[in-house]
Structure 1
Amino acid sequence: MIFDKLKKFDIVFDSPEMDCPPVFSSGDVVSGKVVLELSAESKVESLKLHAEGFAKVHWTESRSAGSSTAYTQNYSDEVEYLNRREVLLQADNGELTVLSAGRHEYPFSFQLPEETLVTSFEGKHGSIRYWVKVKLHRPWATVKKIKKEFTVIEPIDINTPSLLAPQAGTKEKMARTWYRSCGQVSITAKIDRKGYTPGEVIPVFAEFDNSTSRSVVPKAYITQTQTFIARGTMKQKRAVVATLCGDIVGGNRRETWHGRAIKIPPVGPSILQCRIIKVEYMLRVCVDVPGTSKLSLEFPLVMGTIPLHPFGSRTSSVSSQYSVNIEWLRMAIPEQPEPPPDYSSVVSEEEAVQNSTEVQPEEDLSGVLQRSLMAYVQEFRLRPPPVYSEVDPNPQPFAMRPRCMTC
Structure 2
Amino acid sequence: MIFDKLKKFDIVFDSPEVDCPPVYSSGDVVSGRVVLELSGESRVDSLKLHAEGFAKVHWTESRSAGSSTAYTQNYGDEVEYLNRREVLLQADNGEVTVLPAGKHEFPFSFQLPEETLVTSFEGKHGSIRYWVKVKLHRPWATVRKIKKEFTVIEPIDINTPALLAPQAGTKDKMARAWYRSFGQVSVTAKIDRKGYTPGEVIPVFAEFDNSTSRSVVPKAFIIQTQTFIARGTMKQKRSVVATLCGDIVGAKRRETWHGRAIKIPPVGPSILQCRIIKVEYMLKVCVDVPGTSKLCLELPLVIGTIPLHPFGSRTSSVSSQYSVNLEWLRMAIPEQPEPPPDYSSVVTEEEAEQRHNAVASQQAEDLSGILERPLMAFVQEFRFRPPPMYSEIDPNPQPINMRPRCMTC
Closer, same or farther: CA 221–116 of 1 in aligned 2, 3 Å: same
Distance 1:54 1:155 in 2: 19
Which residue in the other structure is 1:295 paired with? 295
Could you state the TM-score of these two structures normalised by the residue count of structure 1?
Answer: 0.82
Distance 1:240 1:39 in 2: 53
- Tell me how far 1:359 sits from its aligned partner: 6.9
Structure 2 SS opposite 1:51: strand
Which residue in the other structure is 2:197 paired with? 197
Structure 1 SS opposite 2:12: strand
Structure 1 SS opposite 2:134: strand
User: What is the root-mean-square deviation in Å for CA atoms of aligned residues?
Assistant: 2.1
Structure 1 unaligned segments of length 5 or more: list them: 319-333, 361-401
State yes or no: 1:153 paired with 2:187.
no
Distance 1:10 1:151 in 2: 18
The CA deviation string for residues 209-258 of structure 1, in whole angstroms up to 9 with x for no partner, is 00111100000000001111111111111110000011100010000000
- Tell me how far 1:124 sits from its aligned partner: 1.1
Q: Structure 2 matches for 1:172-183, cutoff 5 A?
A: 172-183=172-183
Which residue in the other structure is 1:166 paired with? 166
Which residue in the other structure is 2:40 paired with? 40
Distance 1:122 1:357 in 2: 27
Q: Contact between 2:215 and 2:289, CA under 8 Å: does it hold in 1?
A: no
Q: Structure 2 matches for 1:222-301, cutoff 5 A?
A: 222-290=222-290, 292-301=292-301
Structure 2 SS opposite 1:315: helix
State yes or no: 1:132 paired with 2:136.
no
- Tell me how far 1:2 sits from its aligned partner: 1.4
Closer, same or farther: CA 403–306 of 1 in aligned 2, 3 Å: closer
Distance 2:338 2:83 in 1: 45
Distance 1:359 1:161 in 2: 31
Point out the more displaced range, 171-180 or 95-104: 171-180
Which residue in the other structure is 1:53 paired with? 53
Distance 1:218 1:281 in 2: 20
- Tell me how far 1:346 sits from its aligned partner: 1.4
Distance 1:110 1:358 in 2: 45
Would you say how many aligned residue pairs link Structure 1 and Structure 2?
349
Which residue in the other structure is 2:216 paired with? 216
Q: Decide which structure has the larger Cα Rg and report it.
A: 2
Closer, same or farther: CA 276–356 of 1 in aligned 2, 3 Å: farther
Closer, same or farther: CA 185–344 of 1 in aligned 2, 3 Å: same
State yes or no: 1:315 paired with 2:319.
yes
Distance 1:102 1:339 in 2: 51
Structure 2 SS opposite 1:155: coil
The CA deviation string for residues 349-393 of structure 1, in whole angstroms up to 9 with x for no partner, is 222233355879xxxxxxxxxxxxxxxxxxxxxxxxxxxxxxxxx
Structure 2 SS opposite 1:354: helix
Structure 2 unaligned segments of length 5 or more: list them: 324-333, 361-380, 385-409
Distance 2:133 2:357 in 1: 39
Structure 2 SS opposite 1:350: helix
What is the identity, as a one-letter code, of the residue corresponding to 1:11?
A: I
What is the identity, as a one-letter code, of the residue corresponding to 1:196?
A: Y
Distance 1:356 1:404 in 2: 40
Closer, same or farther: CA 172–283 of 1 in aligned 2, 3 Å: same
Could you state the TM-score of these two structures normalised by the residue count of structure 2?
Answer: 0.82
- Tell me how far 1:176 sits from its aligned partner: 2.0
Which residue in the other structure is 1:331 paired with? none
The CA deviation string for residues 70-120 of structure 1, in whole angstroms up to 9 with x for no partner, is 211111100000000000000111111111111111100000000000000
Which residue in the other structure is 2:340 paired with? 340
